Amino acid sequence: MVRGSDGSEAVTDPVTSLTIFHPPGHVQVTPGNPFGKDIANSGLFRSLARHGGYSALNVLHQSRASAEQLGLEFYPPGGPQAQLCTGSLRNTALPAHSGVMLRGQPYLSELAWLRRSAGPDPSRADAAYSLAGLIHTIAPPAIREQMAAAALAPVQPWDAFICTSPAVQAAMEQLFERQAAHFHERLGASRAPRPQLPLIPLAVDVEAIAAQAADGAARQALRQRLAIPDHEVLVLWVGRLSYFEKAFPQVMLQAVQQASRRCGQRLHFALVGWFPNGEADLRLYQQAAEKLAPDVNVLVLDGNDLKLLAQSWAAADVFLSLVDNIQETFGLAPVEAMAAGLPLVVSDWDGYRYTVRDGVDGLLIPTLGSPGGAPGELLAQLHTLGLEAYQTYVGAVAQHTAVHLGRATEALVQLVRSPEQRAAMGAAGQRRARQMFSWPVVVGHYNALFAELAERRARALRDGEVVGGARIQPNRGDPFADFRGFASAVLDPDRRLRLVGGGSPADLEPLLAVQLNRLYPGLRGSLAEATALLEQLEAAGGAGASPAQLLASAAPERRPYLDTTLVWLAKLGLVDWLT
């Protein structure tokens, strides 16, 4: 059961098939400096294939990979007869059969127009299937603008933007409310259809991480390598080491330093990750560590080394992540730390306050944001005009967001001094990870959402609530139609066409020796179809024939491509359209 943005709940039939829209095709994360959204999407798609219980799974992509090369291990309940299929990104038949198409990004407007263009009746086409897009971040203005485009596109109430945290859900509600108010003021709009905004968290492979963290040999091996005695506490950070897109490290370094002095013992702080800007940023972090944490053993470890990452979960005692960046909306690393059984000290920030229960799984550290006004408007305008990069946009906001140093220090002191509390919080967090953030649980939420969207779609059709409209996007339509006034004439079904005097179908082949004549073949028929049209015109003689006559026996879906073939043949000088 899934609760929609309007508070409704639905108990529905199980989903039997699913279509995934994934342009890259391959679902494995490319090694080296991965983004959290790519890790999350890879895990989601592979887990849907493994735990979804679908009899068929379709992947629409633009790569040349076969179904077997996508990197999905499909475990259908139907046995060998069940299929993992692939199709082009423009394929609307597969999602229509599934009833739902999932995208790992929140860009649904163009997909909604593609869905509508698939049939002659826009209203029936809109109800052919549901669209679901996953929100990973709402910080970039360009992404917010693309999501807001859903208010103008034929995105429907049986579609969904999947929100990974209550903070994202609230922000999306606000975005659509502002859009509706603007359209009312600007256009007098009285209707504001919007997609559902269900709350479904991201997930991790809880059992795999728990097993890594429980590996005593791995704990001992890494601690020996790093010269960390068994009785000393290792504090761990995992993730991108980016001050402009993840977290400024200063307050973490200061908190570990002050906790070390207050506890009267040496602490170790391992930053396991990677630097998007390479050596330049590494030097910035090293300089900050030297100045702010001189008594702490600060270690920078390669987070792209999966074996080292696994050992880090085993070797650590406390997880620390004081993010301050609006780019972060959920936070996979704290959930991974919970799966590893580590107590957490994290900032009270968007998705973190949803995943981590203060005083149970860890300790939330208060944060303070700037009120904005003129500085925020300046920043937004500079970014909008292309005068400042997105990294500056989010980095400048983070620089003027505070995380409480005193509370962070107290939290670390509390956990350093109490192995018992570390163990209790770690166990509580691991239970929560299994109950809420494991893939089988989250896949169940997705299936419940898909079923609820199907019910909404069926109810709208039954109650006559499906409203049609323009078949294709008005400002990005068919260029032949949009610019038909540019030509002196446009091919119509009754226009008489003839072979150019003295010509024959055999004249086509030598013209194709000119490479320029062969460009853009995807908009016209095959060579065989072009030759057949020329042969028909030859048989018609001087009286010629109209496109309606020439295409009378052609399949309806081929006729538009044969129309462009006739104009192309005229371009080559083989067909005359003037009487």
Task: Kindly indicate the confidence band of residue 14, based on its pLDDT and cuts at 50, 70 and 90.
Answer: low
Q: Residue 335: pLDDT above 90?
A: yes
Task: Kindly indicate the confidence band of residue 5, based on its pLDDT and cuts at 50, 70 and 90.
Answer: very low
CA dist., res. 76 & res. 82, Å (int): 6
CA dist., res. 403 & res. 254, Å (int): 11
- The radius of gyration of the chain's CA atoms, rounded to the nearest angstrom, is 30
Task: Kindly indicate the confidence band of residue 7, based on its pLDDT and cuts at 50, 70 and 90.
Answer: very low
Q: Helix/strand/coil (H, E, C) string of 422-450?
A: HHHHHHHHHHHHHHHCEHHHHHHHHHHHH
Q: Residue 547: pLDDT above 60?
A: yes
What does the pLDDT read at residue 3? 40
Q: Residue 475: pLDDT above 90?
A: no
Cα atoms found within 13 Å of the Cα of residue 475, Cβ hemisphere only? 4
Task: Kindly indicate the confidence band of residue 33, based on its pLDDT and cuts at 50, 70 and 90.
Answer: low
What does the pLDDT read at residue 83? 81
Mean pLDDT, residues 431-445: 97
Q: Residue 215: pLDDT above 60?
A: yes
Mean pLDDT, residues 391-403: 94
Q: Residue 48: pLDDT above 70?
A: yes
Between strands 130-134 and 100-103, the pairing is parallel
What does the pLDDT read at residue 409? 98
Q: Residue 425: pLDDT above 90?
A: yes
What does the pLDDT read at residue 478? 79
CA dist., res. 166 & res. 257, Å (int): 33
CA dist., res. 197 & res. 204, Å (int): 22
CA 522 to mean position of chain CA atoms: 29
Least confident of 5-14, 181-190, 199-208: 5-14
Least confident of 13-17, 144-148, 540-544: 13-17
DSSP character at residue 455: H
- Report which residue type is found at 524: R
If you average pLDDT over every residue of the chain, what do you get? 91
Question: pLDDT tens across 146-197, in order?
Answer: 998 888 899 999 999 999 999 999 999 999 999 999 999 999 988 888 999 9
Q: Residue 443: pLDDT above 90?
A: yes
Between strands 160-162 and 318-321, the pairing is unpaired
Question: pLDDT tens across 245-267, in order?
Answer: 999 999 999 999 999 999 999 99
What does the pLDDT read at residue 1? 37
Question: pLDDT tens across 96-147, in order?
Answer: 999 999 999 999 999 999 999 887 777 788 999 999 999 999 988 889 989 9
Task: Kindly indicate the confidence band of residue 422, based on its pLDDT and cuts at 50, 70 and 90.
Answer: very high
Nearest alpha-carbon partner for 452 in 219, 195, 275, 266:
195
Burial 90-109 (b: 16+ CB within 10 A, else e): ebbebbbebbbbbbbbbbbb
- Report which residue type is found at 100: V
Question: pLDDT tens across 218-231, in order?
Answer: 999 999 999 999 99
What does the pLDDT read at residue 78? 56
What does the pLDDT read at residue 4? 39
Q: Residue 2: pLDDT above 50?
A: no
Joined together, the tokens standing for residue 365 give 């550290």
